[in-house]
Chain A
Amino acid sequence: MLDNGRISSIQLSMLLFMTEAPTAILFPPSIIAEQAGPDAWISVLVPISLYGFIVALICIALARRYPKQVFTEYLPDIVGWLPGKLLALVYTLVFIHIASFILAECSLFIRTAFLRETPSLPVVMIILIAVVYGVFLGIEVIARHNELVFPLFILSMFLLIVLVANNIDLNNLRPVLAKGFIPVLSGSYQTAIFRGEIFILLMLFPYLNQKTEAHKSVMTVMIMMMIFATTIIFVTIGVFGPLVTSQLTFPYYSLARYISLAKILEQMELYLVIFWMAGIIVKLAIFLHSACIAAASTFNFRNYRMTIIPIAIISTVVCEALYSTNYLNFINFFKNIWPLYGLSFELIVPGIVLLVAIIRRKGLTSSAQTKS
């Protein structure tokens, strides 16, 4: 194993929550609202969560066959050396791509919330300083850092919901299921991929110190995400109505701006965004760490740390060239390519690999897993 850190099941839960939550509240609410209208919360509650559970179950089943290796390490063992290595390389690129994509989201959001006249590149570079440092220190440190960030993140979200709660108009959420299930499903299709980011579990599983608790901790995360995302979209649509929500770029930010309590607690959005920022730094660190581990294991490096800087530079370049300077490209990718792209790498490829592993009897069988 390239990173000999050890994380507990609670730390894993918190990490996985942080890989999902910060971006799940950024763009998806408006996209879902556009498709599903007032039923957006049903879309988040049922189909998206279902997708998340399926991805999580497949990933756990696959990861438990190789409890001491990350996904890219055991791929060659399952599907053969050459295809395995190629697939591992593809996954490395996918992680880099997702990292650069998150960077673009982050940079866009920061330039909306904090620094309206700053170009994207310095923002991306400065955020990467923190992220690269975290990745350099290893997964154990990221997990511990996240233990500090997680409660603050939850607290900030709780505050947000409580402070805008008096503005919720339940009429915005009616009629329920007026057009049947089709809009609900089409809304979930475009954004389920965010929930499926839990597939990063494939790269985090070997660090877990008690493998038997994997199911419990991952299911906890999925249930937490289900509650969390549903609440956020419920509140957003309750406050703004489906039409306005679908037009907003950052519904979460608009929601935070909406806070006004007795004319004293105004301009709260920056304080809340601070904790979102802390969360996204953790999320980026997890993806960048996975990208580095994937690259190092694909090319058989002994130390993953030497891949950090090159990968950070690559993701900066990808982010700058493709997304952060070209908002249309970004949105296009989001709405049209990302769903299929994500679906294939989160669900289909791991699913096929799992099938192959079962058929070829690779890795630990289920009886051996319970023993270990």
Chain B
Amino acid sequence: MFEWLFRGMKKSLKNTRTKNPAAYGSRSQTESRETSSELDQNNTVLKEIFDHCDVLVVHEFSLGNIDSIRSMLVYLGPLVDQDMLQKNLMGSLLNVNEVPKNNISDWLISRIIPSGEARKENIWERIANDIAAGMVALFINGENFVILLPVMEDLKRQISQPVTETTARGSQSAFNEDIRTNIALLQKRLPTTRLALKNFKIGELSKTEISMIYLKGYVKQELLEEIEERLNRIKIDGIPESGYLEEFIQDNPWSVFSAIDSTERPDRLAGHILEGHVGLLINNTPFALILPMTLVSQIQSPEDYSNRYWFSSFIRLLRWGALLFSALLPSFYISVISYHQELIPLPLLLSIAVSRERIPFPGFLEALIMELTFEILREAGVRIPKSFGQTISIVGAIVIGQAAVMAGLVSPIMVIVVALTAIASYTIPSSSLANSVRILRFPFMIAAAFMGLFGMIVGVSIISYHLCSLRSFGVPYLSPLAPLSYGDLKDTLIRAPAWKMNLRPRLVGGLEPQRQHKNLKPGPSDNRTKIIQRRIRGK
């Protein structure tokens, strides 16, 4: 009906978009050329390419003691492991006595250079990129090819404990910034040939390495193709962090909820990969992405599986309650205070009325002030240097809690509500879900201020409709709950005993449904029961 209205807008948008397609990573003409066999000519090209780069080291030497050939090693000083370079590479290169007449580079790779990853290259663009990435280039006079070999400095930190996803029981190692370490951590947990690793490089300038990890045959081919297509579609200058990538490959770009989850725990990622999810490891960040992701998975914590299932089920239910609490408690308080006083038992109502007597603000404003104050405190808590950490707890507890009540700005019960809400939101294992809920609290509060409980129900219905419409790579976001699949309910609101969960989630791991054998419930084996029965009969 209104298409004519948008048509013009779309056109003008298109025009602005396509004006400058290569602006994000322009490259010069020289780089697509090939290397020449003249060392001096190569040297000038190098100088041209690395014009502004003062850390470029050009180390000229002569190869071979008899009939020596002029050669040079080119690398970026800070990126290269000097020790290894001097001892191993230079040592073996300078020990060469006789050099064959032709095919020097092949001979060097196969006989002299102590590295399995050395290769030949003759395109300037690739050579320059590899030097920029920390490889060492060996130019030889009279050779068309350049030998590239990795002698990179190990710039990674130790494997440490997870910072954001801590558990009391379970693995205590977390991913770090180095993608190779992360892959190793994962491969250690799943040492199988079925573990597939597919590498991508995204970012015209940052060339961020991304590894797609999944179990071969457990993930639908269409899903893999879809992920690859979405990854290859990204044309960007650089990927700073996994959250950035997340926004580019999401199904629901406008939604508050993120249908992709991130984790820094290798055991969590390995668990999800075993279920049939796909993991994306991104270089330079300890956070890996898991997809497709469902709300139910975001409520699960790896610890649920290491604790006894009765306790885990209890904690699960508690967590679902906390999820509702952190989204709805302030708005419930507002609607009860402003509209439905009859819901409060009389003695409590009296004490609330007394405590609110001095408060100049209506319930909504009071709640809004306290919630915003708390959000500021929380944000400050994240930013503040650790040595000032004490300050914030004193300011938070005394100034904002105690003094605000004493000064008559807020009622004590409001402080309780805010504190409870805040604590509740920390029980959600997934930080992206916790953040979504944190934001949603405010619209709910507004709805409650206007229409009380009725407004809240309408708000909750809207959010529920929204959640039901979300998909994550073809899997409905609320999946075992809506659409309902009975078999998968064992691991949602509660956690069934491990020997009961024989099947993978249907929508994610449907290709290989069987996770474990049936009848794994521990107990006397058939053989033993027979023996026992025989004994009893004998007696």
Residues on A lying within 8 angstroms of B by beta carbon are 8, 10-11, 110, 114-115, 118, 122-123, 126-127, 129-130, 133-134, 137-138, 141-145, 147-149, 266-267, 270, 274, 277-278, 281, 306
Contact = CB atoms under 8 A, between A and B. Distances in A.
A130 B465 contact: yes
Contact of B339 (A115, A133, A147): A115
B469 A278 contact: no
B454 A130 contact: no
Nearest to B476: A144
Contact of B465 (A118, A141, A306): A141
B255 interface: no
A82 to B, nearest CB: 25
8 contacts: A114-B451, A130-B462, A137-B468, A145-B465, A147-B483, A149-B464, A281-B458, A281-B461
A10, A114, A144, A267 — most chain B CB neighbours (10 Å)? A144
Nearest to A268: B343
A141 B454 contact: no
A131 B340 CA distance: 24
Interface string B441-459: 0000000001111110111
Interface in B453-483: 453-455, 457-462, 464-466, 468-469, 476, 478, 481-483
B66 interface: no
A114 B458 contact: no
Contact of A270 (B340, B345, B466, B481): B340
A262 to B, nearest CB: 13
B230 to A, nearest CB: 23
A281 B461 CA distance: 8
A148 B464 contact: yes
A144 B457 contact: no
Interface in B464-510: 464-466, 468-469, 476, 478, 481-484
A202 B392 CA distance: 63
Contacts of A118: 451
Contacts of A133: 462, 465-466
A274 B457 contact: yes
Contacts of A122: 451
Given A110-B454, A115-B339, 14 more contacts: A114-B452, A114-B454, A127-B458, A130-B462, A130-B465, A133-B465, A137-B466, A145-B482, A147-B482, A148-B464, A267-B342, A270-B453, A277-B454, A278-B460
B296 to A, nearest CB: 12
Main secondary structure of the interface of B (DSSP, over half): helix
* 5 closest residue pairs by CB, A with B: A144-B482, A144-B468, A147-B482, A130-B461, A141-B469
B178 to A, nearest CB: 42
B454 A129 contact: no
Nearest to A122: B451
B457 A278 contact: yes
Interface in B321-362: 339-340, 342-343, 345
A115 B452 contact: yes
A123, A145, A281 — most chain B CB neighbours (10 Å)? A145
Contact of A130 (B1, B343, B458, B478): B458
B482 A126 contact: no
A57 B476 CA distance: 33
Nearest to B459: A130
Contacts of A281: 457-458, 461
A278 B468 CA distance: 15
Contact of A145 (B345, B450, B454, B464): B464
A234 B351 CA distance: 41
A148 B482 contact: yes
B465 A123 contact: no
A306 B1 contact: yes
A138 B458 CA distance: 18
Nearest to B470: A141
A278 B2 CA distance: 32
Given A115-B454, A277-B454, A134 B465 contact: yes
B317 to A, nearest CB: 15
B465 A126 contact: no
Contact of A123 (B454, B466, B483): B454
B51 to A, nearest CB: 56
B468 to A, nearest CB: 4
Contacts of A147: 481-484
B481 to A, nearest CB: 7
B495 to A, nearest CB: 19
Given A147-B483, A267-B342, A270-B343, A126 B462 contact: no
Contacts of A306: 1-2
A10 B484 contact: yes
Nearest to A111: B454
Given A141-B469, A267-B343, A126 B454 contact: yes
Contact of B469 (A114, A130, A137): A137
Contacts of B455: 126
Contacts of A115: 339, 451-452, 454
A134 B451 contact: no
Nearest to A274: B457
A274 B457 CA distance: 7
Contacts of A126: 450-451, 454-455, 458
A156 to B, nearest CB: 12
A367 to B, nearest CB: 32
A11 B462 contact: no
Given A267-B342, A270-B343, A137 B465 contact: yes
B483 A144 contact: yes
A327 B465 CA distance: 32
Given A8-B483, A127-B458, A147-B482, A114 B453 contact: yes
A8 B478 CA distance: 16
B345 to A, nearest CB: 8
Contacts of B342: 267, 270
A148 B462 contact: no
B480 to A, nearest CB: 11
Contacts of A144: 468, 476, 478, 482-483
A365 to B, nearest CB: 33
A287 B426 CA distance: 40
A208 to B, nearest CB: 14
Nearest to B460: A278
Nearest to B454: A114
B461 A145 contact: yes
Interface string B7-21: 000000000000000
A168 B223 CA distance: 57
B340 A114 contact: yes
A141 B342 CA distance: 35
B357 to A, nearest CB: 23
B453 A274 contact: yes
Given A145-B468, A147-B483, A134 B461 contact: yes
A278 B461 contact: yes
Nearest to A281: B461
A341 B435 CA distance: 51
Nearest to B481: A148
A270 B461 CA distance: 17
Nearest to A7: B483
A258 to B, nearest CB: 15
